Structure 1
């Protein structure tokens, strides 16, 4: 089962935000995340807020687009009533779940509601995630016609036994097809990979990297498999049915990815993300790491505006009930204090290539930089320019770097 929601304060039924969010609002970008919580099957490693048909308890996929549109309208009204200046969305991201399980007309209607309600900045990035077996050329052409600019395919691996362990259902041979179709439709392409799956060898991982690079995607993400409590995979490991992922092997896999991607002309810009050029970075995800604002639409979606964070009720049936009652679907929220915001700034901004200005660290954090340079976790030349930038070793030990900078 998916993990529990955080404990926090109740969220107001009207969605109004405190006056504190107004400070600096004009300097922050605004993005919209639309969560589509539906999947054909639940992958054994996944703890995202997703539901198969058997788990919907009366909620209907066919009703979902209308509910999401209603939340977009509620969100715009709440932001305006809170006194925030009108801001067009700089990015829109459809995630899941599998957004492309919905008819393309539903995704188009949801995007149109964002455009009509908030507006889009010129050149705005509009992305949807997609499983390789959930789209065809016609679907991708319709996405582009609706205003989508980018698609992120969940490739995960090119090796059948690895996909089987992950319980991914697509044929790896379909990847070249969907990438070609996306390009024909005029969409930028990102591929998502997972490494460290039980039973996956370094040779297997090289095969997946080679196959991914052969498609010449604009962007590539590579995430280490994390065994989340409550998942089927965690139960399998606990029963001894599959081995626990090997941290040393995962580190070797990350180093191999970074090396092969660099040779192919990709530059890392966040610990788990590489792009062929700066303009092909995921602008939506960069907004998260840089602390900008976003409204999250849908069951379990999280939002953040000016240091206030909230999250929606998780089950689609509970979400539908709130929306139909005309009240905010938020289940709880928290206003981050200065210390928490400072810690999160270090946590997020040290992950990106541009790093974090040393001047923004606490006194103890600034003192820690010298030791991190000595341990080859932080780039010495960047530190001389006044910035904390992770080395390759530092990226592998990013959590430890953050602890030392925030102690």
Structure 2
């Protein structure tokens, strides 16, 4: 690993791993670090206005973003292969919708100013339902966004209260309807399951709400109690029980069964879509081992086997970009072994499965035992998780990497 001051995008002679760049889809992730309030379970790199004070603002962040994208484009131009068209853009956070429609349009303009978007580029933004309205959706659709991902988490008020979510239970459905009315064909709703105090009826109500919203994509994640969060402190003090693994598995199976019956197919362990066109192409780029530039405070990038990550605090980020370079805090060139490990970890989670040819001899030797226990099946030349295997995906990965 280099020192923080080193350059993560260099010439071919300086970074031989970058010879692999350009062989597949290229995406750009933009991190918006602002939130109105901090949710109790969240450990993302986000900041409320009170936490930032006057050290940074959306305006200074946007100027920093423009500078970083410009610097990155100049560095990419030095590589021996042409910079590919951008297949996907994903604006996440944080709460991108706090920027408003004009702010998000400016973000996409900043990307277009430095990179060429493919004609069929997928352009996604995350949004908090409470900071959206019909005019917001109309503005970002006109700006070129093609997909919206809305944080819903639950339809039960008492579950939202445990999570410190501020939106009212019905608002995500209303926001999804507004997004569809504005011309968005692809709308996602996020669910979280396993919150202390959650009941089967709450899970059913959440899925009912998703189906009523008419969306074509659903993400469902088990609650993880992250160190340093308010939720972790409450669990440590005994105010709330820690999520139970058996309960989490039952919740997942309940959600999967309901969505499958309604016509949703899983394509990644935590993601369901109605038809191939509804799948999130940007996230598929991550899972398929693609290349992406991560811009914004704390964002991570992966290009041609080289990974780097930006400084986290927005004020430091802006200062570093103002100095004329990339705001990288550090970087590493992945070894062959590390790239193999990541390939297995990510590909095995996909419904398309893991090519057997991607396994080393030890991994191929472990396949019969995994199949014998009903955790996966061999379909053609790929290893594909069974329904039971999806619940134990991490364990399958460990066996394949022995």
TM-score (norm: length of structure 2): 0.96
Partner of 1:4: none
Does the residue aligned with 1:133 lie in a helix, a strand or coil? Answer: helix
Partner of 2:271: 273
Q: Which residue of 1 aligns with 2:85?
A: 88
CA distance in structure 2 between the aligned counterparts of 1:319 and 1:86, rounded to whole angstroms: 24
User: Does residue 135 in structure 1 map to residue 101 in structure 2?
Assistant: no
Cα deviation, 1:137-178, whole Å, max 9, x if unaligned, reads 001100001000010000110000000000000011112321
Q: Distance in 1 between matches of 2:372 and 2:251?
A: 25
Q: Give me the CA root mean square deviation.
A: 1.2
Check whether the contact 2:29–2:294 (CA below 8 A) recurs between aligned residues.
yes
d(CA) in 2 for partners of 1:93, 1:334:
23
Q: Residue 180 of structure 2 aligns with which residue?
A: 183
Determine whether 1:399 maps to 2:390.
Answer: no
Query: Is the Cα contact below 8 Å between 1:13 and 1:327 reproduced in 2?
Result: no
Alignment match, 2:351: 353
Where structure 1 has 5 or more consecutive residues not aligned to the other structure, the ranges are 1-7
The equivalent position to 1:28 in structure 2, one of 24, 28, 35, is 24
CA distance in 2, matches of 1:13, 1:360: 32
Q: Which residue of 1 aligns with 2:72?
A: 75
1:174 alignment partner in structure 2: 171
Matched, 1:209 2:203: no
Asked if the contact 2:4/2:329 (under 8 Å) is kept, the reply is yes
CA distance in 1, matches of 2:201, 2:377: 30
Deviations 1:77-114 (A, max 9, x none): 11112334121110000000000101322211121121
C-alpha spacing 1:74/1:284, structure 2 compared with 1 (3 Å): same
Equivalence for 1:5: none
Deviation at 1:12, TM superposition (A): 4.4
Matched pairs, number: 397
Pairs within 5 Å for 1:297-336:
297-336=295-334
| SS across alignment from 1:27 | coil
Of 239, 243, 247 in structure 1, the residue corresponding to residue 245 of structure 2 is 247
Deviates more, 1:154-163 or 1:23-32: 23-32
Cα deviation for residue 393 of structure 1 reads: 0.9
Instruction: State the shift of 1:15 in Å.
Output: 4.5
Corresponding residue SS for 1:51? coil
Relative to structure 2, which stretch is displaced further, 174-183 or 278-287? 174-183
| 1:47 aligns with one of 43, 46, 52 | 43
1:225 to 205, 223, 226: 223
Give, in whole Å, the separation in 2 of the partners of 1:26 and 1:330. 21
Residue aligned with 1:303, SS: strand
Counterparts of 2:359 and 2:172, CA distance in 1? 44
Residue 386 (str. 1) matches residue 384 (str. 2)? no
Where 1:26 maps in the other structure, the secondary structure is coil
Q: Note the residue ranges of structure 2 that are not aligned, 5 or more in a row.
A: none
SS at match of 1:265: coil
**For 1:208-241, what per-residue CA distance to the aligned partner results, in whole angstroms no more than 9, with x for missing partners?**
1111112121100000011111111111000001
Task: Provide the residue aligned with 2:161 in structure 1.
Answer: 164
Structure 1 residue 16 corresponds to structure 2 residue 12 = no
